[in-house]
Amino acid sequence: MALMITDECINCDVCEPECPNQAISMGADYYQIDPARCTECVGHFDEPQCVQVCPVACIPVNPAHVETREGLMAKYLRLQQAG
């Protein structure tokens, strides 16, 4: 599963630097998460760091990108190899 940022985002800038995969960037109106880079912090942390720091709880699981923990680990390993 990749995470997503909803339009409730207040652009507080705390999530972007917490992402170990550089999956978070500023979108047209608020931050967005690249599902190709989001591993929900699998391989890095026990919990998604963006969710932990978000003051408005606007980072749910993206239902369009459901993945198993094994799939997230495989993505993490691919991202690590890509450098």
Over residues 20-32, the mean pLDDT reads 97
Domain count, the chain: 1
Over residues 7-27, the mean pLDDT reads 97
CA distance linking residue 56 with residue 83, whole number of Å: 32
Parent domain of 76: 16-82
Assigned domain for 51 exists: yes
> Which CATH number fits the domain that encloses residue 75?
3.30.70.20
What pLDDT shows up at residue 1?
A: 76
**Confidence band of 6 (pLDDT split at 50, 70, 90):** very high
pTM, 2 dp: 0.93
* pLDDT, tens only, 32-83: 999 999 999 999 999 999 999 999 999 999 999 999 999 999 999 999 998 6
The CA-based angle 24-6-68, given to 5 degrees, is: 65
Assigned domain for 34 exists: yes
